[in-house]
Amino acid sequence: MSSKDKNKRNTSKNESYKIKIKKSLMDTWEDIDKLSDDDAEKEEANLALMASADSDVDSDPEPESDSEAT
């Protein structure tokens, strides 16, 4: 086998490897984006829930007393 053929084979192996790595990285990046989107949605829901709970506390007409009436 000539050195030219070996170089071609090595080059094609390198290109194949690079393509596989790029696809792998792209898949990983997409997974991270999906997780980030889910986290952002959960955070928004939590903030809305906290705001709702806070407004419920502010509108409570009867304050709790610390001492019992005897």
The owner of tokens 């898949």 is: 27
Number of domains in the chain: 1
Instruction: Report if residue 39 sits inside a domain.
Output: yes
Q: Name the pLDDT band for 4 (thresholds 50, 70, 90).
A: low
Q: Is 70 a domain residue?
A: no
Does residue 60 belong to any structural domain of this protein?
A: no
| Residue 64 in domain | no
Domain assignment of residue 16, yes or no:
yes
Residue 56: what are its φ and ψ, rounded to 5°? -65, -40
* 54: Cβ contacts below 8 Å, ≥ 6 apart: none
User: What pLDDT does 65 receive?
Assistant: 60
Q: Is residue 20 part of a domain?
A: yes
pLDDT 10s digits, 40-63: 788 888 888 888 877 766 665 555
Token digits of residue 40: 């952002």
Could you tell me how far CA 69 lies from the centroid of its own chain?
52
pTM: 0.38
Of 3-12, 35-44, 57-66, the poorest mean pLDDT is in: 57-66
Reading the block at residue 8, the tokens are 């071609």
Structural domain boundaries enclosing 16: 3-54
